[in-house]
Structure 1
């Protein structure tokens, strides 16, 4: 997974470098001239154009100013170059994108908690135990008591046993 990200980044470096070189050559300018106007060294600009160095946004902006283009134009050219060169790839290998929805079917949108509370109503009280027959009136219902589990009981017993215990000082 990390190698895919590295190869994609190196591809982006190459594409940006190719676009810079193509624009420079279309203008009929030398690499030395553009490097001096941009304020970068000639070897560094050469490596950026070859896709060997990843230039910062500030350096790319300086090179673009030297070429008389906007940084946005450079990135648009690089985007178009990337789109031309690669078919769309699914996000996960082996997983196809979902089929398009039927025109009459709307996707379900999860409701916020407030909307859900309005639809469901107020929170229900503790569960009630029924005493006697199922047809008895509701006033005969009592709340269930929660009984602690065996581990909780053991922990409480250990705490209470250790609370009054005194330790003898070491001799």
Structure 2
């Protein structure tokens, strides 16, 4: 293995060359995802699914277009107040946006979170609605969430 100079933006760094694929280290560490990147991706995806521009959303959220762009690209860590304002402008609950972020991060990290309803909730749901709930999709929208102490 040899070293070769590589210039990036006027800075010279040394790069290893000639290393074969079978001698490369193979670490299986979990992938680290930054929260601000995941939040930005979800906000951009939601905005694009609605066919809205950055300008429209930034105006509705009362945040500068440049700052919203940086949040979407994961370059800025948005405050909870700013996230709430952006979600309101996108007409989605903050909790829904965060749930989508959580799901994406779990997939990227290789962690599988099953979409199942705990047994006690399922039984209570069955008593109240006459139907068994096996996933959160079985719970009617607009209904209050079930609490185990009822």
TM-score when normalising by structure 1: 0.46
C-alpha separation between the residues in 2 aligned to 1:87 and 1:20? 22
Shift of 1:87: 2.3
2:108 to 74, 85, 93: 85
Which residues in structure 2 correspond to 1:102-141 (within 5 Å)?
none
SS in structure 2 opposite 1:87?
Answer: coil
SS in structure 2 opposite 1:54?
Answer: coil
C-alpha separation between the residues in 1 aligned to 2:77 and 2:93? 18
The structure with the greater share of residues assigned to strand is: 2
Which residues in structure 2 correspond to 1:1-171 (within 5 Å)?
11-88=34-111
SS in structure 1 opposite 2:34?
Answer: helix
The structure with the greater share of residues assigned to helix is: 1
Match of 2:134 in 1: none
**Deviations along 1:63-100, whole A, 9 cap, x unmatched?**
00000001000100000000111125xxxxxxxxxxxx
What is the alpha-carbon root mean square deviation over aligned residues? 1.5
Tell me which stretches of 4 or more aligned residues in structure 1 moved more than 4 Å: none
Instruction: List gaps (5 residues or longer) in structure 2.
Output: 1-30, 112-150
Shift of 1:11: 1.2
**Deviations along 1:16-41, whole A, 9 cap, x unmatched?**
00000000000000000000000000
Instruction: List gaps (5 residues or longer) in structure 1.
Output: 1-6, 89-171
SS in structure 2 opposite 1:43?
Answer: helix
**Deviations along 1:98-143, whole A, 9 cap, x unmatched?**
xxxxxxxxxxxxxxxxxxxxxxxxxxxxxxxxxxxxxxxxxxxxxx
TM-score when normalising by structure 2: 0.52
